[in-house]
A and B are shown apart, each in its own frame.
Chain A
Amino acid sequence: MAAVTSPLRACRGLLKELRIAKGSGYRNTLAYKHVLEQFRRNQVTERSADHDTDHALHAARTYLCLLTSTRLHLRLHERYHARGERTPEQVAGLVGLRLPTQPGGKGWET
């Protein structure tokens, strides 16, 4: 199974993830500087299959996968699993009904 991501894509993906995660100050973070330094240090022409560059590229892709997956997982978690159940009033409201009110209270309530 051949590697699909080129070093350029991996680098840009990493920087994009850091920007999404951190916000406007992402260029001052340790991670940003570390990523750029690593890519500059391992910069070889793409044709040479250096043992170390393969390791570095695999590490970069793994970190990119980590950042992307945690972000997407958290997004799905917030969207689907973080809000608990709806109250009976809300459930009724979904189909346009309202719960009946009983002014005297229900029979078994004190």
Chain B
Amino acid sequence: MMLRNICRYHRQFGEGIWPFSFPQRQHVPSLSTHLQKARYASATTERKKFYENVSISPGEGGLYEINLDKRKLKTPGGKLFTVSNEALAIAVATEWDVQKDTLKFYTMHLTTLCNTALDNPTQRTKDQMISAALKFLETDTICYRVEEPPGLVELQRNEWDPVMNWIEQRYNVVIGSSTSIMGPQIPEETKETFRQHLNSYNFWSLTGLEYVITQLKSLVLSFGLIDRHLSVEQAVLLSRLEEEYQIQQWGNVEWVHDYDLYELRARTAAGAMFVHLSSESTAVKRKILQD
């Protein structure tokens, strides 16, 4: 019941302008503002737009490439940018297409994920990623319960317990939750079950899954999202449950709370899309696996 109130609160005030926000629209940009803006935009975060049209074209091995005018898009590591799934290629092309006079790389989450998977700058292997994900289960957000205030205890019980039950049933494992600082003891069989499951993902999907887990700070919620049990908004809300509780108590600060909320939603949505689309195409994937 409390969660519905939180959602209603967000819908009412989420996009409104607080009376205290300073009147940006009346501020005439002076030379100093332009200089300040330039200082905040480095070559890695922003660039001038250097193309007009974006298109995709089929390349070798059934892969798709992105074309910016006549030039083919490359990764930061210099490799040719290729994806195996057409929908993913279209989504990446759209990210480039909707950029205005400056390219804002921090809004292009799918492109960033593809670049990470293609370049693999930290030389991650599948096994490393699986082990890291399983290690994260020990510090999963859902498993850590507070003992007070009672409102938050009840909220955690009402919102997190169903997800916990769902995952324990779906994978036939035992995870449990704990109120101590040490967290729950995860049995080895549970980790083994998840390890088997994670092994069935390819390298690209694992990259995306690792990203989602890092964003949501929870393996359980990430599985819930990837298995389509939760929507992105629901998963993000559950991940930020304590924050939402505090916002309801003390009020919402748009330039922190909403800013973080939308950023988290964008990144999680990109990660989920990336995982789903990377696990769709079948035979061609094997050519770009980095095993």
| A85 lies within 8 A of B36 (CB) | yes
Chain B, range 32-81, C-beta contacts under 8 Å to A: 32-33, 36-37, 39-40, 55-56
Whole-angstrom distance between the Cβ of A37 and the nearest chain B Cβ? 10
Residue in chain B with minimal CB distance to A57: B228
In the assembled complex, the Cα of A83 lies from the Cα of B232 at a distance in Å of 30
Q: How far is the CA of A58 from the CA of B233 in the complex (A)?
A: 11
Is residue A66 within 8 Å, beta carbon to beta carbon, of the partner chain?
A: yes
Q: Determine whether B269 belongs to the interface, using a CB cutoff of 8 Å to chain A.
A: yes
Q: A3-B231, A81-B259, A82-B37 are in contact. Are A66 and B266 (CB under 8 A)?
A: yes
Judge whether B265 and A69 touch: CB under 8 Å: yes
CA distance A77 to B228 in the complex (A): 30
* B258 close to A (CB within 8 Å): yes
Contact residues in B for A87 (Cβ distance below 8 Å): 32
Q: Chain A residues near B162: list those with CB within 8 A.
A: 1
Q: Does B134 reach chain A (CB closer than 8 Å)?
A: no
> B7 — nearest CB in chain A belongs to which residue?
A4
Q: For B98, list chain A residues within 8 Å (CB).
A: 21-22
The 8 Å CB contact of B273, one of A3, A18, A22, A66, is A66
A6 in the interface, Cβ–Cβ < 8 Å? no
The reply to whether the CB of A40 lies closer than 8 angstroms to some CB of chain B is no
Contact B40 A66 (CB under 8 A): no
Contact code string B82-106 (vs A, CB < 8 Å = 1, else 0) = 0000010011011001100000100
Given contacts A31-B91, A76-B255, are A69 and B37 in contact (CB under 8 A)? no
A69 & B262 in contact (Cβ 8 Å cutoff): yes
How does the 8 Å CB contact mask read for A45-82 relative to B, with 1 for contact and 0 for none? Answer: 00000000011001101110110111011101101111
The answer, yes or no, to whether B127 is at the interface (CB within 8 Å) is: no
Say which size band chain B's interface belongs to. 35 or more
Which of the residues B110, B231, B263, B265 comes within 8 Å of A58, measured between beta carbons? B231
Question: Are A72 and B262 neighbours in the complex by a CB distance under 8 Å?
Answer: yes
Known: A34-B87, A74-B104, A76-B254. A65 touches B55 (CB 8 A): no
Question: Across the interface, do B90 and A31 meet the contact criterion of CB distance under 8 Å?
Answer: yes
* B36 touching A83, Cβ below 8 Å: yes
The answer for the CA separation of A82 and B107 in the assembled complex, in Å, is 14
Q: Which residues of B contact A70 (CB under 8 A)?
A: 107, 109, 262, 266
- Which residues of chain B come closer than 8 Å to A61, judged between CB atoms? 231-232
A84 touches B (CB below 8 Å): yes
Q: Does B21 reach chain A (CB closer than 8 Å)? A: yes
A49 to chain B, nearest CB (A): 13
The 7 closest A-B CB pairs, nearest first, are A84-B36, A66-B269, A73-B262, A69-B266, A69-B265, A80-B255, A21-B98
On A, residues with C-beta under 8 Å from B are: 1, 3, 18, 21-22, 29-31, 34, 38, 54-55, 58-59, 61-63, 65-66, 68-70, 72-74, 76-77, 79-85, 87
19 extra A-B contacts, CB within 8 A, seeds A76-B254, A80-B255? A1-B230, A31-B97, A34-B87, A38-B87, A54-B228, A62-B272, A66-B266, A68-B265, A70-B109, A70-B262, A72-B15, A73-B262, A76-B259, A79-B24, A81-B255, A81-B259, A83-B33, A83-B36, A84-B37
In the assembled complex, 27 residue pairs joining A and B whose CB atoms fall closer than 8 Å, in A order, are A1-B230, A22-B98, A29-B94, A30-B55, A30-B56, A30-B94, A31-B93, A31-B94, A38-B87, A59-B273, A62-B231, A62-B276, A63-B269, A65-B231, A65-B232, A66-B110, A66-B265, A66-B270, A68-B265, A69-B263, A73-B107, A76-B255, A76-B258, A81-B255, A83-B24, A85-B36, A87-B32
